[in-house]
Amino acid sequence: MDYQAILNIIEKELESFEDEGKVADYIPELAFVPSDKFGMHLHCIDGGDYSFGNSDEKFSIQSISKVFSLALAKKHGSKIWKRVDVEPSGDPFNSLTQLEKEKGIPRNPFINAGALVIADILVSCLDNPKKDLLDFVRLIAQDDDIHYDEKVASSEKKHGYRNIALVNYMKALGNINNDVDDILDFYFYQCSISMSCHQLAKAFMIFANEGRIMGTEEKAIKSNSTKRINAIMQTCGFYDEAGEFSFRVGLPGKSGVGGGIVAIHPHQYAVAVWSPLLNEKGNSEKGMRALEELTTLTGLSIF
Amino acid sequence: MDYQAILNIIEKELESFEDEGKVADYIPELAFVPSDKFGMHLHCIDGGDYSFGNSDEKFSIQSISKVFSLALAKKHGSKIWKRVDVEPSGDPFNSLTQLEKEKGIPRNPFINAGALVIADILVSCLDNPKKDLLDFVRLIAQDDDIHYDEKVASSEKKHGYRNIALVNYMKALGNINNDVDDILDFYFYQCSISMSCHQLAKAFMIFANEGRIMGTEEKAIKSNSTKRINAIMQTCGFYDEAGEFSFRVGLPGKSGVGGGIVAIHPHQYAVAVWSPLLNEKGNSEKGMRALEELTTLTGLSIF
Amino acid sequence: MDYQAILNIIEKELESFEDEGKVADYIPELAFVPSDKFGMHLHCIDGGDYSFGNSDEKFSIQSISKVFSLALAKKHGSKIWKRVDVEPSGDPFNSLTQLEKEKGIPRNPFINAGALVIADILVSCLDNPKKDLLDFVRLIAQDDDIHYDEKVASSEKKHGYRNIALVNYMKALGNINNDVDDILDFYFYQCSISMSCHQLAKAFMIFANEGRIMGTEEKAIKSNSTKRINAIMQTCGFYDEAGEFSFRVGLPGKSGVGGGIVAIHPHQYAVAVWSPLLNEKGNSEKGMRALEELTTLTGLSIF
Amino acid sequence: MDYQAILNIIEKELESFEDEGKVADYIPELAFVPSDKFGMHLHCIDGGDYSFGNSDEKFSIQSISKVFSLALAKKHGSKIWKRVDVEPSGDPFNSLTQLEKEKGIPRNPFINAGALVIADILVSCLDNPKKDLLDFVRLIAQDDDIHYDEKVASSEKKHGYRNIALVNYMKALGNINNDVDDILDFYFYQCSISMSCHQLAKAFMIFANEGRIMGTEEKAIKSNSTKRINAIMQTCGFYDEAGEFSFRVGLPGKSGVGGGIVAIHPHQYAVAVWSPLLNEKGNSEKGMRALEELTTLTGLSIF
């Protein structure tokens, strides 16, 4: 498969894409990002790298970080599934309604409530939660030039009323063990990680490659875990648009409000795309389109 | 009307009442209250006082305080009704679901979310919110022996995750102006006020008497305000059991999880009853029954 | 109290009322009614009649009929309250959501689902349900010139998909005993009754007069029943605007999508008003305003 | 891959499976089925057939038929996606709540509401809807011994109040074009189709084989359609347990309350399993377990 040729077609086709999306503006740091950024990077299981545009420029990965924290919790053998479910939510990512109906058990680890429970789990089992998470991401990406963005983290903290509400609500319902401030501090840092498409594609290879780190072939997590995490990405990776992504793209993936999307084709490749303009469900409009083109042009998806 | 004779009948009849309620246990201070406390006090517009049992013993008035804070906000001429609605909620008192659907506008000022918005309003317009509220309650009850219970207030603060969630959530939705901690501090103190049935009945006479304070005849609030506040008590005073109370008792009233209930018959009397065992909706089981007996035995309700 | 003078003021004041409401259009028969119809009739407990405008013209009473069917079910001693609750719904009148959450038990007898359960009860206990209901209404209004409107009834049947859905859904949940077609036939006829403000005010006097029929003083229903029915009108008579009506008007009442509203002041009067333009909650915009003026000008409400 | 050996292991392992499920009892015809029936059939893309137990015995396929009707609607080029969404529902299969919130557009074609819209579409575009659907199923299964079960169909009709409610409700909301009785008649027949695991596995090969019918290699539907239908099966095939199935099994599939489940591994195989005892979400308890074992033992899923 000539991935570079395919990426070139995608880049060209989307030059004239009429993007009706909007940059996320709930924190100023995200609103400042130029809306015309566009990059894509595909890392193949044979080691090949293919890309275009701003694929080496870092951006705020936001919710994509939820896949890393879940993987790290699994790596530490944590009991997760009594405290978080694995069902799609059918509601916006920061909804409190379902939480009320379901007694504090979030629908899945990729909505904010679920990610906060995972954060609680990590705060319990890690010695230095923030350092340990960053080390894990650097390890699987085989790249030490990955950092938290302090400005983004502190801005999230300043405007994070809804997440404060979520974690306090779950505390009231008995599904939070640690101090809420510790959890929120960790969570806001986690979301602030900056990475490029290139780095994300490499890091996500563990999910395409049965848990093995590209290059070293070291097992970062069990292959059994990657199967499960991929399944959750498939059904829950795009908030209340998970079905639409599955329908159009046909790959497990995860998006973030920074405009990034990562998807994987098991045993084939991991691919990351970045375009900051979001549709009304909070997913990158052009990013989804680029990935739809990818599976259409390759003729291959998991289905 | 021989109110004392009627109260005596009620006391006697309810001696053998099989109470299946439970003491509120969400903070230890409430759980410690002996469950067999039972008192009632009726203050008539002609100045007569009628009572039985533990009617002079103080208890935590909890949500009954929401009527005082609403009255104080009205007294200060605050614009309220763009930020809080006047519809019954049909949901438990601390529900977040409706708030989500209705964009941060609480259904009414007597559910927790609504009372927190009123607290925000008072924090904005009062010089010394806590002192001013207490002064107002003492004024309308014509009794200076009314105090905050520091232990209860600090215990509420320690276990108040759900209220923290509510106020942060409304802040996220743009319906909170002040610092959330200031509002919560005021709110937890407000709920901790200790009063006896006797004191409550006297204080609530302003609602039975077109805003006039008993004894002084001074107008504490406008008669127009009492009409409105009574209407809200009628439709929203008992969480998701407002219809049941209206149906069985037929008077405007307000309950608190400390086991108190106050009701008024406009132009006739105010009555307070206290029994700590709560039914599953959070209202005093025996208290509701006592008030039902009252309107049955007098043959008079507002309907 | 010079009621006629007060009504004259109301009529005059509302001449220039800017009505932003819309005529109900879900069946053509309602859409045809001229939108500028406006009439009001107050019947006093001393027998006095006061009115203005189109107060003797008949219109489709629609949901106002739910009060009659409830009263008739109570008169027949039916067990009602295990199958219908008495809580305000907080949702639009034809919502299915609450029904699902609450296992087929409608919130109250004045939303469509609840009225359909009452219809089921009447179909079970009456020999000639349609004839018996009409006889009852004629009796309490002391007026035989009250009829079903066949055109309206058959039009309702033709467009009644939502009511068909409601009754089938409750049948599935076990809260309907009779054949759904029999219930719907009765229900659509019930809603089609045509009455004038004058007739409605007279008929509703049983609720203002402890169950007694004006003129004959015969007890149509027990005074205990009127207390309960008035309480339900107070908390549930205006769909998800019950609190607003209670807040502004301060009387128990019931509205219909034909533009009619009836309200009662216990031991004082019954009053009916008609103006076809409805606000977005389905209640007559000008009718609500006229009643608000009435309690403001008389200075009297139940609160 | 020695599929027969793997199936033998599964059969043996599940001999002692403690099944806490219950036979569907909403119609008598399903309740009569012996609860210990258990069969499985895997049809491989190379033409191989592997099976155990009651794999050749017919049972009521129920909701599995929704995949056939969707495929037939796609084959006829119908515009579907403006009238049905492709998102997981997160609610039980026969919920009306979401329908209300989302104005009559069902979440996906595999909940009852969605399947009723597909039925409406087929009633519009087919000459003989019932005959045409059966012909289509016989064609793709390459087996003429497939029939409707008249008894089941008429029993469904007799007890189908909830489906009657759903279709009337959507009619009220403008998303149903044909007469509701015609749609329901078609729908109840569709659900009554009887097929064996063997027949189901063969029929579902079109979804594993890019739309081609096994044996003839004729294209029954476009490969683009199979990709989309598989994606919907993945995210919506198991009501509010779609995430759990995806998580444990990792294949697109569809269940029915008759106890059947079909799953496919694209480009590999289609597999059907049957065990009538259902878990509380309405999916075959032992069937899910058998499929989980299959992907665990083969080490292969789509993830």
C63 catalytic, yes or no? yes
Q: Does B230 touch chain C (CB under 8 A)?
A: yes
Q: Which residues pair with D269 in a beta bridge?
A: D44, D265
- D61 versus A239: the higher-pLDDT residue is D61
Q: Does A172 touch chain B (CB under 8 A)?
A: yes
3-class DSSP string for chain D: CCHHHHHHHHHHHHHHCCCCCEECCCCHHHHCCCCCCCEEEEEECCCCEEEEECCCCCEECHHHHHHHHHHHHHHCCCCCCCCCCCCCCCCCCCCCHHHHHCCCCCCCCCCHHHHHHHHHHHHHHCCCHHHHHHHHHHHHHCCCCCECCHHHHHHHHHHCHHHHHHHHHHHHCCCCCCCHHHHHHHHHHHHCCEECHHHHHHHCHHHHCCCECCCCCCECCCHHHHHHHHHHHHHHCCHHHHHHHHHHCCCCEEECCCCEEEEEECCCEEEEEECCEECCCCCEHHHHHHHHHHHHHHCCCCC
Pick A227's closest partner by Cβ from D236, D240, D301: D301
* Residue B283, helix vs strand vs coil: coil
Res A40 pLDDT > 90: yes
Neighbour subunits, A (≥3 Cβ pairs < 8 A): B, D
Do the Cβ atoms of B166 and B112 come closer than 8 Å?
Answer: yes
Q: Does A98 touch chain B (CB under 8 A)?
A: no
Beta carbons of D88 and A231 less than 8 Å apart: no
Which residue is catalytic, options A63, A155, A196, A246? A63
Pick C243's closest partner by Cβ from B98, B230, B235: B235
In this prediction, residue A277 carries a pLDDT of 97
A151 catalytic, yes or no? no
Beta carbons of A166 and B165 less than 8 Å apart: yes
Res B183 pLDDT > 90: yes
The residue to which tokens 């049809």 are assigned: D43
Question: Residue A90 has which token pair?
Answer: 């059918």
- State the average pLDDT for chain B: 94
The total number of residues shown for chain D amounts to 303
pLDDT band, residue A79 (cuts 50/70/90): confident
In this prediction, residue D93 carries a pLDDT of 57
The residue to which tokens 């080390």 are assigned: A135
| Residue A115 CB-half CA count within 13 A | 28
A&D contacts, CB < 8 Å: 102
Closest alpha carbon within chain A to D239: A87
- State the average pLDDT for chain D: 94
DSSP A30: H
pLDDT band, residue D98 (cuts 50/70/90): confident
The residue to which tokens 């490969």 are assigned: D223
In this prediction, residue C171 carries a pLDDT of 96
Res B92 pLDDT > 80: no
pLDDT more than 90, % of chain A? 87
C187 catalytic, yes or no? yes
Res C184 pLDDT > 70: yes
The domain spans of chain D are 3-298
Contacts of C193 (CB under 8 A, 6+ apart): C60, C61, C65, C68, C134, C137, C146, C147, C148, C149
DSSP B248: H
Closest alpha carbon within chain B to A172: B161
**Span D196-234, pLDDT tens digits:** 999 999 999 999 999 999 989 999 999 999 999 999 999
Q: Which CATH superfamily includes the segment(s) A3-298?
A: DD-peptidase/beta-lactamase superfamily (3.40.710.10)
Res A127 pLDDT > 60: yes
Q: Which residues pair with C59 in a beta bridge?
A: C195
Residues 233-272 of A with CB under 8 A from D: 234-236, 240-244, 246-247, 250, 252, 266
Which residue is catalytic, options C3, C50, C65, C66? C66
Do the Cβ atoms of D192 and D206 come closer than 8 Å?
Answer: no
ipTM: 0.91
Return d(Cα A262, Cα A274) in angstroms, integer: 9
Which residue is catalytic, options B3, B50, B189, B239? B239
**Lowest-confidence segment of A197-211, B270-284, C20-34, D166-180 by average pLDDT:** C20-34
Select the residue from D89, D97, D183, D240 to test the C interface by mutation, using most C Cβ atoms within 10 A. Answer: D97
Q: Does D98 touch chain A (CB under 8 A)?
A: yes
**Span B155-167, pLDDT tens digits:** 999 999 999 999 9
Question: Residue D41 has which token pair?
Answer: 């059939």
**Span D101-152, pLDDT tens digits:** 778 999 999 999 999 999 999 999 999 999 999 999 999 999 999 999 999 9
∠ CA A121-A125-A129, nearest 5°, is 85
pLDDT band, residue A92 (cuts 50/70/90): low
C-alpha distance from D167 to closest chain C C-alpha (Å): 8
D-chain residues within 8 Å CB-CB of A87?
88, 90, 240-244
Indicate the helix (H) or strand (E) that contains A11. helix A3-13
Do the Cβ atoms of D265 and D249 come closer than 8 Å?
Answer: no
Return d(Cα B219, Cα D92) in angstroms, integer: 56
| Burial status of residue A241 (CB atoms within 10 A of its CB: 0-12, 13-18, 19 or more) | buried
C-alpha distance from D84 to closest chain C C-alpha (Å): 19
pTM of the model: 0.92
Pick A169's closest partner by Cβ from B101, B162, B180: B162
C26 catalytic, yes or no? no
Residues flagged as binding site of B for substrate: 63, 112, 156, 163, 187, 239, 257
A-chain residues within 8 Å CB-CB of D86?
243-244, 246-247
Which residue is catalytic, options A3, A50, A66, A67? A66
Q: Over the range A270-286, which residues count as b (16 or more CB within 10 Å of their CB) and which as e?
A: bbbbbbbbbbebbbbbb
Question: Which candidate, D288, D275, D262, places its Cα nearest to that of D34?
Answer: D275
